[in-house]
Amino acid sequence: MRYLLAWLLSLWAMATSAQTVPYRIETVATGLEHPWSLAFLPNGSLLVTERPGRLRVIERGAEGRFQLRPEPVAGVPPVLAQGQAGLFDILLAPDFAHNRRLLLSFAHGTPKANHLRVVSARFDGRQLLDLTPIFTSRPAKSDTQHFGGRMAWLPDGTLLFGMGDGNLERTDAQRHHTHLGKFLRIQPDGRVPADNPFVGRDGALPEIYSLGHRNPQGVVVVNGVPYAHEHGARGGDELNRLAPGANFGWPITTGGVDYTYARITPYRSLPGVTPPLTEWTPSIAPAGLAWYDGALFPAWRDSWLVAALAERSVRRVPMSNGTPGPQEVLFKELGERLRDVRVGPDGAV
């Protein structure tokens, strides 16, 4: 099956209706294999990760036309690509224009002993240089599911990223001695910030920022506040406003049931558990997250855009005073499982 990247471009930039606004779909590239994430380069080109372990360049040439460079970027580290494992997110350094540094997250190790790893590298336009691992999850896990992997910069320059629960021992999401089922926060060089919420706590890994997550695959920082969504099982997908030290409940609270229809827990809420901003049951399988504040679609401003694999859509979730409003289902005409959604520098989606 061919996979493509597409821009969603407004036909009427001044549309103001709260309903679906007119747009057109423009194919940017075809022939990619499981594209997972992308980053916009200062020159208008794109870097795209492919889950099997390749980093690709989509070059923007004359008259704004795009072309997929045939050869992958050299120097990408070895990636475990099996099941849900592979090359995941790409994130440019805040000062990329000066130091050309970027981060990659990926599955590292073997099918029976694997980790989420984050590396820093310098991109010279053709290859990655000075590659340095800055995080490797602990302990090793023994299945190729639920890695998380999405990354975002916090305003203080620290890195925030999600780690899935591994799916085999989901109660690890509530345990402090493991990175499984957590959001984690580190310095760009891998050091632990001194103000992380569990620094100095006996039996707790110091990188932990929040806990109780199943498989987070979207994280975005808006006005200094991090937001994230995560996959539930058969229902119970969540959109959350993250906070240091907060517990988001998995698996002791959830709105979903297991894939066998067995009950996971009798509780949808408990004291000490932060409730989600919104929840999707049945599951839409949220897999990418963007905040829309662009000019091309003024009716969509102050909305979350949630890429959905199972629903084969993008959900628009408008926000007002921190509260989600009525949702809109977009782009089902593509008929594809949508892995990621991003807003370009020009406001195109």
Distance (Å, rounded) from C-alpha 249 to C-alpha 129? 40
Distance (Å, rounded) from C-alpha 140 to C-alpha 80? 13
Per the rule left: phi > 0, alpha: psi between -120 and 50, beta: everything else, 186 is beta
Secondary structure, 3-state, 129-167: EEEEEEEECCCCECCCCCCCCCEEECCCCCEEEEECCCC
Q: Which of 289, 281, 218, 277 is nearest to 246 (CA)?
A: 277
Which residue among 146, 179, 213, 229 is the active-site one? Answer: 146
Would you call 333 helix, strand, or coil by DSSP?
A: helix
- Bond before 251 cis per omega within 30 degrees: yes
179 is catalytic: no
Q: Which residues are catalytic?
A: 146
